[in-house]
Chains A and B, each alone.
Chain A
Amino acid sequence: MLEHTTAAAEAGGGRAAASPLVNDFSIQVATANGSGSQSSNTVLLRALFQMGIPVSGKNLFPSNIAGLPTWYTVRASKDGWVARKKEIDLLVAMNPDTAREDVRALAPGAAVVYDAPLGLASLRDDLVFYPVPFDEVVAPVASEARLRKLLRNMAYVGVLARLLGIEAAEVERAIGRVFGQKAKARELNVAAARAGFEHAGALEKRDRLSVRRMDATAGKIIVDGNSAAALGALFAGVTVVAWYPITPSSSLVETLIGHLREHRVDADGRATYAVVQAEDELAAVGMAIGAGWAGARAMTASAGPGLSLMAEFVGLAYYAEIPVVIFDVQRVGPSTGLPTRTSQGDVLSTAFLSHGDTQHVLLFPGSVEECFSMGVAAFDVAERLQTPVFVMTDLDLGMNNWMADPFPYPDRPLDRGKVLSKEDLDRVGGFARYRDVDGDGIGWRTLPGTDHPRAAYFTRGTGHDDASAYSESPAVFEENMARLARKLDGARALLPAPERHGGGTAPVGILAYGSSHPAILEARAQLAAEAGLDTDYLRVRAYPFSREVEAFVRAHERVYVVEQNRDGQLAALLKLDLPTELVPRLRGIAHVHGLPLDARSVTDELLAKEAR
């Protein structure tokens, strides 16, 4: 069962019984997985978006193809808050397996649209119930039972449209978009939505939710983070992709493959890319590393279990200094550990993935825009630093739909890093692969196939001298380790800088990253409005940390590090990085139940900790 709050909802529910909620509410739709509700929920989301109302949608789904309960939340927010809202204002109860529990968990004052045979109205007397006999509503639309089962879901969209005031024309336009060229499906779904809309005309409106057209979404797009990251890779000029399917990263590569087929095939049908579905994640990352070594812009995408398997290879890439980009769409736990729920649980293990003093570059996109821009930048950074780069997204960012500004075309040419060509070698005579000639810890490399008798070098793991010859000399080893540390230290200034919010003089600082961002923005507004607490917020965008992170902690007596993991993994990295005297300033706020972070939880916990 999904987590709900009573304490927080009481604050909203109790006093709100009278006050209308215009363009400011959350809807939760409870269905069974595989019942076709995804299309209906997308239509609902898009119809609100088309009416100019800021929206966000979150699919809270099980690891299952069909049958298990699934929930989808749609949030409309005139103020533009797009984090998950903890309180549910309207429940659409379509799933007999969860309906009673879902109803019991609602805060007083909430509304429930439900399938009439479920008989939920008797459960509570402090909610607004709308029974709808969905089978009867869709019966005239289609005769086939299989179709009717799917169309019931579009019928609830029609019901909600009538109850909330969503324009029917926008619902039908959204259906047109979702079903595209499938004329028959489009027609049936429009009919089902209309049937729901008509039926709801007879319902007496008793809830406080409504929508009104506004103008806050003009020019915006709706996209999920995996699609955005795929576009990043496309416009980074990725050439070799090796992958192994795993939730929640599969759609990143599948979307990318679609784009590559469309935009990266020559007139004569020849591809300027190669994609291989590998036998496992060990092979996927190995292929990407081999390709990166040979000079390709190479990537893989995976999630925690895959990252664990990649550990040894990634360590070799760190020591052999091979560029490769790895998208980690984080989820909960190993094996069957909530594979369809979101988490920031890979941060610490990925920062040091592998054995023997490895340390990696991590990028933390905080929006779909950054899934794109960091998707591009990751390849530049990897080739510039000659090291694996991890783009740490998560299921919430990756698989949910987000509103965004259209992505700007990259404003810089590709940075292919330090590569010596045949002509360079003709000029300089030769080279030593790992010699720090520029003082930045980064050597020059050659690519296999370079037509020069002195181009070749032998790529091996940890034990090598600066000419890449095998060495077990303690001095050579120490020097190599020191150079690698210098290289990673230099990365601090190269990587995306943190993003500052607030005037910088607040007593309390908040430090967060990734998909927590929208909830933090909203929590700061809540803290200011409800408790008069002014906060500064630093959004960390990369590891190794920028020096600005230390300055931020130094400037605040108390710094709350908000994370979607149990043990404060980013805080642990901060503790390793910060001067010892600053460490006691860090306070953790952990959010660890697999659902996207909400502002209310952050606000409440931060205030509770402040009170202590």
Chain B
Amino acid sequence: MAAPVPPGGAAARQNRLGLALADYKGGKTTLCAGCGHNSISERLLEAMFDLGVPPERVAKFSGIGCSSKTPAYFMSRSHAFNAVHGRMPAVATGALLANRTLVGVGVSGDGDTASIGIGQFAHLMRRNLPILYVIEDNGVYGLTKGQFSATADVGSRLKSGVANELPPIDTCALAVQLGATFVGRSFSGDKRQLSAMLKAAISHRGTAMLDVLSPCVTFNDHEGSTRSFAYVKEHDAPLQELSYVPAHEDVAVDYDPGTTVDVELHDGAHLRLRKLEEGFDPRDRTRAVARLMEASARGEVLTGVFFVDAKAATLTDQLRTVDAPLATLPEARVRPPPAVLEEIMASLR
């Protein structure tokens, strides 16, 4: 992992843009103390800081729910759009087509994505819009006080003791199947894995979908819940050890191709995945879906990068839009000249 931020020493340090970590901070969080979402916000802004992404180039998007409040709590120097419930993908798609030079970050939750937003989620995955899409997944509706979400495991219990009986939607398996080009799952409590995964996802060009298990300390952190901090920590079964090698660092650092998969990302950075499990290759879509389904059947909390295709064409590639933002093209480039109108009028006579 590249230049981890030393605890306590962050404020003084500057990134390659000469910005301090403070330049990536957001407003004060209003989520519950200890909420996993706050950790994800921290990892995200640190990743942006470490990678030297100019905050002004970032556009943050979210839907509705606890997760979707978080864009207010990181990177205040970035524009943000808090959309309607489950429909952040549409807003992000429009904005990122209007300006393809933006770095898009979408933050959603398990309710926002897997229930009301499942349609837009599916179509975002298949379009391969360049965006980092993070699901802050706690298996429960927090803002409406503790109803099950569609990612809750069978048998997981609410505080009231009610057990969930419906099978969970595995957003990662779904994303891989639907055509997403970077799919991973992490845990808000695993700082090291999450940081590396976020950086690789930011370096990826295309839809990077990360499902981050993020315990709800108020409504879903009790015994009997499969999304409690303790449960996830205990059952977290990482598929690989992740390391992120930034583009400007020496990529020749030794690794064993027998045990490690090296993926060159769009911006020249490398994602190194040291296999903890024989036979798994995150470049095999079919195998990735199968492995996720096996994990689900066995009750494993599988984390890691399940699938990555760094070369796939994105939506902007397919649309062949000009390099400059469409939003600010001058009139001469968007309003055809009078001769065009005259010609069309003549054809209608």
Contacts and interface: CB of A to CB of B under 8 A. Distances in A.
A235 B72 CA distance: 38
A272 interface: yes
A294 B322 CA distance: 16
A237 B334 contact: yes
Contacts of A313: 83-84, 87, 90
A263 B323 CA distance: 18
Given A271-B320, A296-B326, A296-B327, A456 B78 contact: yes
Interface string A351-367: 00000000000000000
Contact of B349 (A219, A237, A446): A219
A236 B77 contact: no
Interface in A294-320: 294-298, 312-313, 316, 320
Contacts of A242: 90, 93-94
Name which of A231, A263, A286, A288 has the most chain B CB atoms within 10 A of its CB: A286
Interface in A444-494: 446-453, 455-461, 470
Given A263-B340, A264-B334, A456-B78, A279 B329 contact: no
B56 interface: yes
Contacts of A320: 81
Contacts of A235: 335-336, 341
A271 B98 contact: no
B345 A448 contact: no
Given A283-B123, A316-B84, A456-B56, A221 B345 contact: yes
B137 to A, nearest CB: 22
Interface stretch (A200-208, A409-417, A582-590): A409-417
A454 to B, nearest CB: 8
B335 A414 contact: yes
Contacts of B72: 458, 470
A276 B91 CA distance: 13
Given A239-B326, A286-B91, A289-B91, A220 B349 contact: yes
B95 A294 contact: yes
A482 to B, nearest CB: 23
B325 to A, nearest CB: 7
Contacts of A289: 90-91, 94
Interface string B236-252: 00000000000000000
B338 interface: yes
A288 B338 CA distance: 27
Given A272-B333, A287-B97, A460-B82, A407 B345 contact: yes
Contacts of A273: 321, 326, 334
A263 B99 contact: no
Which residue, A271, A283, A316, has most C-beta atoms of chain B within 10 A? A283
B319 interface: yes
Given A235-B341, A263-B340, A294 B82 contact: no
A429 interface: no
Interface centre among B321, B329, B344 (most CB of A within 10 A): B344
Given A452-B56, A456-B79, A270 B89 contact: no
A51 interface: no
B348 interface: yes
A272 B322 contact: yes
Interface in A217-274: 219-223, 231, 234-240, 242, 259, 263-264, 266, 269-274
A568 interface: no
Contacts of B338: 409
Contact of A264 (B55, B61, B89, B336): B336
A291 B94 contact: yes
Contacts of A449: 56-57, 59, 79, 99, 101-102, 325
Contacts of B323: 270
B184 to A, nearest CB: 24
A464 to B, nearest CB: 10
Contacts of B325: 294-295, 449
Nearest to A223: B348
B164 interface: no
Contacts of B98: 239-240, 274, 290-296, 298
Given A239-B326, A263-B340, A449-B59, A274 B97 contact: yes
A403 to B, nearest CB: 10
Given A221-B345, A274-B97, A290-B98, A456 B335 contact: no
B296 interface: no
Nearest to A219: B349
Nearest to B76: A456
A410 to B, nearest CB: 7
Contacts of A440: none
Interface in B303-349: 315-316, 319-323, 325-329, 331, 333-336, 338, 340-342, 344-345, 348-349
Interface in B24-78: 54-57, 59, 61, 71-72, 76-78
B299 interface: no
A290 B80 CA distance: 11
Interface string B129-142: 00000000000000
Contact of B56 (A236, A280, A451): A451
B56 to A, nearest CB: 5
A406 interface: yes
B94 A290 contact: yes
Interface in A304-358: 312-313, 316, 320
A452 B101 CA distance: 15
A278 interface: yes
B155 interface: no
A212 to B, nearest CB: 21
The 8 closest A-B pairs by CB, nearest first: A286-B90, A290-B94, A295-B327, A237-B334, A296-B98, A448-B79, A291-B94, A290-B91
